[in-house]
Amino acid sequence: MSQNPPLDGLRVIEIGSIYAGPYCCQLLGDMGAEVIKIERPGLPDPLRSWAHTDERGVSYHWSVVSRNKHCVTLDVKTVEGRELFLELVAQADVLVENFRPGTMEKWQLGPSDLEKINPRLIYARVSGYGQTGPYAARPGFGLIGEAMSGLRSITGEPGRPPIRAGVSIADAVAGMFTAYGVLACLHELKSSGKGQVVDTALYESLYALMKDFTAMWEADGIVKPPVGTRIPRVVPTGIYTTAEESYVVIGGGTTAVFARLATAMGRPELSQRFPTPALRADNEEEIEAAIEAWVATQTAEAVLNVLEEAGVPASKVYGPQDILADPQYQARDMLLPVEWPGKGVLHFPGVVPKLSRTPGRVTSTLPEMGESNKYVFSELLNRTADELVTYGEKGII
């Protein structure tokens, strides 16, 4: 039998909405943290009905980001609501919020306020531009972070306008960095005994992935263009159309792998003519044209079988039906089954990464608003059933 997940016993308060903060808490919850998500009475997190929904208006996205969470309703702007919140903070290890900077301070719930209640609290904040600097007070969404980080400028086809990534990448990456910061602070807490603030900006989270983007311009005046379907000067790393008009990706950027690819294609002379990365980069179009011609005569299955035999990294570009049928996904428990009202069993992404001894897990999905009010306010904060009724009548919970 496996042991408890690694963050078992860690209590996290989530107060925020949409994606970056809630995604951070999803990651912590996946690894066993107890996450208490706060929503204002009558004002659900917009993520509950975000993007594609079922006939009831429930977002499929919500199932993933809300899993493993205790959802409560609480208006922290009221006197009694603030008192309940502070009592909960006193019992918590981590707080995660993603309001515009200054909002929590306006409610007298900023880091300096909560430090008096719980000096060991890790206070994690996600915002468009961070808590400091000339842009701190500006509103910011993920698409603004994509633009300001430079990511949009290199995403798309050369000569065409920048395009959006297919997922909310700024919020997701910021959520990951925030979880990373929380874990770093929890480790440091062991020696100092003091909590601290984790301050994550959406644009910084993506700029951290841009590596040499600004240095190339400073050093050599090079502005990276949109990269399209290839990695610049790493050849070949393209997407190719098969005979049945599906797509495969082939990664042959190293010298050894390129030689295996050329042989598998029946074109060993290519690796003899272009034995170095620089020569392949300088002759990219000739190499890419040869691969395109070879792939175009075969099915995806045939191409992938040949390349697997040759030891060349390759994959079909998957759609949802490919993922659901893939034995690798199944073998690693990456297809999480969720019983969906009116739809049967649907599958969502499982827990990442896999831990050998204390793996993460998903114990609940699709929490209703206020579903855990009794647990949090009665069991944790010792309020009676009558008090909860009164709070409800006043709009506090």
Secondary structure (DSSP) of 40-89? BTTB--GGGG-SSB-TTS-BHHHHHHTTTEEEEE--TTSHHHHHHHHHHH
Q: What's the Cα-to-Cα distance from 95 to each of 25, 70, 312, rounded to whole Å?
A: 9, 14, 46
The verdict on whether omega for the bond into residue 5 sits within 30 degrees of 0, i.e. cis, is: no
pLDDT beneath 50, residues of the chain: 1
* Residue 279 amino acid letter: L
- Residues annotated catalytic, as ranges: 171
pLDDT for res 286? 97
Residue 271 host element (H or E):
helix 269-273
The C-alpha atoms of residue 94 and residue 103 are separated, in whole angstroms, by: 18
Residue 152 makes CB contacts below 8 A (sequence gap 6+) with 146, 162, 163, 164
Residue 1 makes CB contacts below 8 A (sequence gap 6+) with none
And the tokens for 202?
């959406």
Look at the alpha carbons of 93, 81, 69, 164 in this order and tell me if their dihedral is positive or negative.
negative
pLDDT for res 1? 45
In three-state secondary structure terms, 285 is: helix
The C-alpha atoms of residue 135 and residue 149 are separated, in whole angstroms, by: 14
pLDDT for res 95? 98
Cβ burial, residue 211 (10 Å; 0-12/13-18/19+) = exposed
Considering only CA atoms, which of 369, 372, 360, 340 is closest in space to residue 61? Answer: 340
> Which residues partner with 72 through β-bridges?
38
The C-alpha atoms of residue 130 and residue 260 are separated, in whole angstroms, by: 48
Look at the block and give the residue holding tokens 């797509």. Answer: 247
pLDDT for res 346? 98
The model carries a pTM of 0.95
Q: What's the Cα-to-Cα distance from 330 to each of 65, 95, 324, 354, rounded to whole Å?
A: 21, 34, 8, 14
The C-alpha atoms of residue 17 and residue 98 are separated, in whole angstroms, by: 7
CA angle 182, 187, 190 (to 5 degrees): 125
Query: Which residue ranges form the domains of the chain, and what is each CATH number?
Result: 11-209+333-394 (3.40.50.10540), 237-241+247-316 (3.30.1540)
